[in-house]
């Protein structure tokens, strides 16, 4: 393992994944440097979520390899899981537990101190409902709760699957702050987005998937609110 590979947050080569007879990813290569946030766009069914699930070890690749900060997703899944935080559109919390119990549980499972749960709830604005059961939470509150789980984890690589769904403006700002902090500490983020505008402030690179393959050139997001960033897109995000 040479030194330069370890600098890459994601080093994926020819990743492919088949569900039954259906090839959802058909050989995707992607390099993401540390300190960079990349946006991933593509139509429904283009394989975006599958790519994220492969990178965070929830799925095994049918073919191809990938490493996260030098940790191979197939042979060192445990190290990868320590490094990666996956933020999915499904909250994935336990409805019969309180917000605090949910995050404490996550802290134990992640090997983090129990105290980290309180500050994470504080930051996501859930401190006042910390001891209420999750069952009655609105979808926006549930998103904040999963974000709190991510704050307890503090992973080096954020894999965010449509993270802006159900967030109000302050929620979006909070999420972007979390992404910026991760980048500041030398981490990276790969963000699947439909809502390109929300991700604009943090994303420095764009990737595009079509039919399970990387599109030859970076897609320029449609309806981009600030044309000034388009030159920035032009200089990066192109696949090798």
Binding mask 85-124 for other proteins (x = CB under 8 A): xx-x-xxxxxxxx---x---xx-xxxx-------------
- 199, 193 in Cβ contact below 8 A? yes
Closest CA to 17 of 70, 87, 69, 74: 74
By C-beta, is 60 or 230 nearer to other proteins? 60
CB of residue 229 to other proteins, shortest distance in Å = 32
Span from 3-11, 53-61, 124-132, 191-199 in contact with other proteins (CB under 8 A): 53-61
Nearer to other proteins, 16 or 218 (CB): 16
Residues in 61-90 at the binding interface with other proteins, rule: CB under 8 A: 62-64, 78-79, 81-82, 84-86, 88, 90
> Which of 56, 73, 189, 191 is in the footprint of other proteins by CB under 8 A?
56
Residue 160: strand pairing partners: 87, 191
Q: Choose the stretch contacting other proteins; rule: CB under 8 A; options: 22-30, 31-39, 176-184, 193-201.
A: 22-30
Interface with other proteins, residue 14, by CB under 8 A: yes
- Longest Cα–Cα distance in the chain: 51
Q: Taking CB under 8 A as the criterion, which residues in 194-223 touch other proteins?
A: 211-212
Choice between 32 and 107, CB closer to other proteins: 107
The DSSP annotation for the chain comes to --HHHHTEEEEEEEEEEEETTEEEEEEEEEEEETT-EEEEEE-TTSSHHHHHHHHTTSS--SEEEEEETTEETTT-HHHHHHHEEEE-SS----TTSBHHHHHHHHHHHHT--THHHHHHHHHTT-GGGTTSBGGG--HHHHHHHHHHHHHHH--SEEEEESTTTT--HHHHHHHHHHHHHHHHTT-EEEEE-S-HHHHTTT--EEEEEETTEE-SSPPPPTT-S-GGGHHHHHHS----
Determine if 18 is a binding residue for other proteins (CB under 8 A): yes
Question: Closest approach of Cβ 233 to other proteins, in Å?
Answer: 27
Question: 134-153 mask for other proteins (x: CB under 8 A)?
Answer: ------------x--x----
Binding site for other proteins (CB under 8 A): 14, 16, 18-23, 26-27, 56-58, 60, 62-64, 78-79, 81-82, 84-86, 88, 90-97, 101, 105-106, 108-111, 133, 146, 149, 211-212
């Amino acid at each position: 393992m040479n030194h330069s590979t370890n600098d890459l947050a994601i080093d994926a080569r020819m990743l492919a994944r088949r569900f039954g007879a259906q090839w959802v990813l058909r050989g995707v290569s992607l390099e993401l440097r540390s300190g960079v946030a990349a946006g991933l766009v593509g139509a429904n069914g283009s394989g975006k979520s599958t790519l994220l699930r492969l990178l965070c070890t929830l799925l095994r690749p049918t073919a191809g390899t990938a490493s996260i900060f030098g940790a191979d997703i197939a042979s060192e899944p445990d190290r990868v899981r320590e490094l990666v935080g996956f933020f999915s559109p499904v909250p994935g919390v336990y409805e019969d537990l309180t917000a605090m119990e949910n995050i404490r549980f996550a802290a134990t499972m992640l090997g983090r101190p129990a105290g980290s749960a309180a500050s994470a709830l504080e930051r996501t604005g859930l401190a006042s409902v910390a001891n209420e059961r999750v069952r009655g939470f609105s979808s926006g509150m549930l998103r904040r709760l999963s974000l709190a789980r991510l704050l307890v984890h503090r992973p080096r690589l954020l894999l965010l699957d449509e993270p802006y769904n159900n967030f109000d403006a302050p929620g979006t700002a909070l999420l972007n702050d979390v992404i910026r902090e991760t980048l500041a500490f030398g981490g990276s983020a790969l963000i699947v987005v439909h809502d390109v505008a929300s991700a604009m402030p943090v994303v420095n690179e764009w990737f595009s998937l079509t039919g399970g393959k990387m599109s030859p050139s970076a897609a320029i997001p449609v309806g981009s609110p600030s044309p000034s960033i388009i030159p920035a897109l032009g200089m990066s995000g192109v696949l090798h």
